[in-house]
Amino acid sequence: MKLEHGARRALVTGASRGIGRQIARVLAEDGARVALHYGTQRAMAEESLALLPGTGHVLLQADLADEAQAAALAHRAAEALGGLDLVVNNAGIFIEHPVGQVDAATWAERWRHILAVNLMAPALIIHAARPYLAEAGGGHIVNIGSRGAFRGEPSAPAYGASKAGLHGLGQYMAQALAPDGIFVVNLAPGFVETEMAREALQGERGVATRAQSPLNRVARAEEIAETVRFVVSGRADWLTGGTIDLNGASYLRS
């Protein structure tokens, strides 16, 4: 399925591996030129770049915990690609910090770091990307949130809170950016077979994690990417402001 608006220009954060790598791949398959953001994994980002069909793709490094670097990323992507039509806020971090098992300084540091990467950075990227998307006649923003925003993350509360905030950000931006022809959708995956979830998917813990779904498995990164493909296709714009659950019926909400 080709993107209806021709060869579009996309920024995908956290694209060196996992979900981000697969999202970049499907967008490139549909004719987009992609700016692949990475944090520290240059070699893995180069592997992602090599997997993309087409030409004109670029790698962009940035530490999303640094506000200045996060704020500049959309500008750098637009400069490299000649504009922007799509933004996928995929980058995120998960660090356990159980309230009864860390000291006050560690607790505060975990909250600052996780919120900076998972919530503040997407907010800064959206703010910077808006003029480019508007100039292009509209576009799409997809935020990769989490089931944890609803189900809870007792061992990593800052992660759950950051993803709940990201979902809220997407809802509010869908209303604020609609006059510019910009559509904003959140995805809320459960566990996905990625490096980030490796520990949770090992041994007995992995058996229990897979058993959370009646399908007795977790998602594949490709399944999340295919949902992004549909959301940005131009055929599903009435989804704007919505949050799509992708958790294999492991958590149901009304």
Residue 101's CATH number: 3.40.50.720
In a domain, 239, yes or no: yes
User: Residue 58 above 70 pLDDT?
Assistant: yes
Instruction: For residue 247, count CB atoms less than 10 angstroms from its CB and return exposed for 0-12, middle for 13-18, buried for 19 or more.
Output: buried
User: Residue 1 above 80 pLDDT?
Assistant: no
In a domain, 196, yes or no: yes
| Contact present, 86 and 93 (Cβ < 8 Å) | no
Q: What is the pTM of this model?
A: 0.95
Once rounded to an integer, what is the mean pLDDT over residues 73-80? 98
Q: Report the domain count for the chain.
A: 1
- What are the residue numbers of the active site? 159
In a domain, 251, yes or no: no
In a domain, 241, yes or no: yes
In a domain, 3, yes or no: no
Stretch among 81-85, 151-155, 202-206 having the lowest mean pLDDT = 202-206
Q: Give the SS3 label for residue 239.
A: helix
- If one counts every other C-beta atom within 10 angstroms of the C-beta of residue 161, the result is 19
pLDDT of residue 6: 54
| Contact present, 19 and 192 (Cβ < 8 Å) | yes
pLDDT of residue 144: 98
In a domain, 2, yes or no: no
- CA dist 254 and 249 (Å) reads 12
* Full domain range(s) for residue 135: 9-245
In a domain, 4, yes or no: no
Stretch among 42-51, 57-66, 188-197, 215-224 having the lowest mean pLDDT = 188-197
In a domain, 173, yes or no: yes
